[in-house]
Structure 1
């Protein structure tokens, strides 16, 4: 059965916040006057899937699914079915361009899990892969204190008191394309899933293309070798509107007083 999503109006103003800075820098997306067609991604694509097929994007309506699951189509053909005028698939395309090795590995892992367990039984590994693919944020850190603060929900310490360190000892890189989609219409409660990656200090001095290439390789190894997405335990909640530079309202420190959004860590009894 073909998927259908009603066309959405192209509003480039939705991409003007700090959360989309990387897309503006690397793809000049703000210069588009209409929805990019699937082949628009071609100059940016370097991904090769596990079947040694180059990744290409094609109109979802023209793809022959032949009773195959979405991930199986990508694995068997190299074709990523892409819905027209659809934020979700548009942002999915950007992530394929920015994290080609990791996206190909995630696709391969999905197909392996389906072959072993079938489509109906979703394993912990597939759940973790899906959650990260949709909602993941890679937090590159050169100081492990960041992981302690954010995992412990010390939001004001991380977002306010150490605001000046964002971009110097910590930097967020969006992986979840659903996060990008929801950030076109931000709302209180919007939360991603952070995966911390320790990096050397000098990474923060590199250009953005180099940073993404480095993180793609490290992330690929963490999933393939360290099995960091065996389940969801490595993923930590991250209130996306709290990230410095990503939402205008967080310029006011009082924004972080909303404990329904910036929730304290739930303590478990001994």
Structure 2
């Protein structure tokens, strides 16, 4: 568990805007888990027919077996009774093709290189997105400002444009941490086309988009998520964005 995050499923505020895509399934499961905190059983009960994986107890993971390799080989996800694995299961339920693709590439890298003390570039990038990733559908002007780390333009000058944007958090560690929101929390954001509307279509698109040749370079942009308009009352005050420890300027390119 992340530091400061309660184990209590009752602590989840399902009215939080970042939980909107997960609320329909997640809220009743969290209520169920307040009475029977067996996460794998709750997730498995809610799994649709033909789901790509089953949820099993953490004890099913053999010693000295890599977690990702086990999932790929057995189509089962070892699951602990905590918030981290609860949110991981919710993402599996909503983005099964994406999660399966992430798992496939992890397993292929493990098969090729083994489990090393330091992950290689591809496994590192896949893990960053799986744990802390998000998708942003937004007008080009917002993306230009985000990539430039021009926080004044992104969040103040162009604030009305956020009505045309959609940010979907997919990193289960980030969802877990946001149970106790703190200003410095940052997502690693990947650009998604605005034309895609349903979560199922997002899932199908993203699963095709994840390719080892491009993702090893970490094609993500950092975004302090509580700066998103409408996501946190404190950001209604313009001075909120003056905190350079959170809203950091773009690093200058190194001199050749």
TM range (shorter): 0.7 to 0.9
Q: Which runs of 5+ in 1 are unaligned?
A: 1-5, 49-53
SS in 2 for 1:198: coil
Please show how residues 52-63 of structure 1 align to structure 2 within 5 Å: 54-61=52-59, 63=60
Quickly say closer, same or farther: Cα 1:22–1:122, change in 2 above 3 A.
same
Q: Distance in 2 between matches of 1:177 and 1:116?
A: 26
Quickly say closer, same or farther: Cα 1:163–1:39, change in 2 above 3 A.
farther
Q: Which runs of 5+ in 2 are unaligned?
A: none
Q: Deviations over 1:149-197 (max 9, x none)?
A: 10111123222333333242x2111111111111111223211101111
Please show how residues 54-133 of structure 1 align to structure 2 within 5 Å: 54-61=52-59, 63-84=60-81, 86-120=82-116, 122-133=119-130
Residue 251 of structure 1 corresponds to 236
Quickly say closer, same or farther: Cα 1:186–1:27, change in 2 above 3 A.
closer
Q: Distance in 2 between matches of 1:17 and 1:216?
A: 22
1:46 positional shift = 6.2
Q: Does the 8 Å CA contact 1:127/1:231 hold for their aligned counterparts?
A: no
Q: TM-score, normalised by structure 2?
A: 0.86
1:215 positional shift = 1.1
Q: Distance in 2 between matches of 1:30 and 1:159?
A: 34
Residue 240 of structure 1 corresponds to 225
Residue 221 of structure 1 corresponds to 208
Q: Deviations over 1:14-48 (max 9, x none)?
A: 44422222222454348716146323223344675
1:227 positional shift = 4.1
Q: Distance in 2 between matches of 1:44 and 1:154?
A: 42
Taking only aligned residues, the RMSD between alpha carbons, in angstroms, comes to: 2.5
Q: TM-score, normalised by structure 1?
A: 0.82
Q: Distance in 1 between matches of 2:104 and 2:251?
A: 36
Runs of 4 or more, structure 1, over 6 Å off, are none
Q: Distance in 2 between matches of 1:31 and 1:133?
A: 21
SS in 2 for 1:28: helix
Residue 176 of structure 2 corresponds to 181
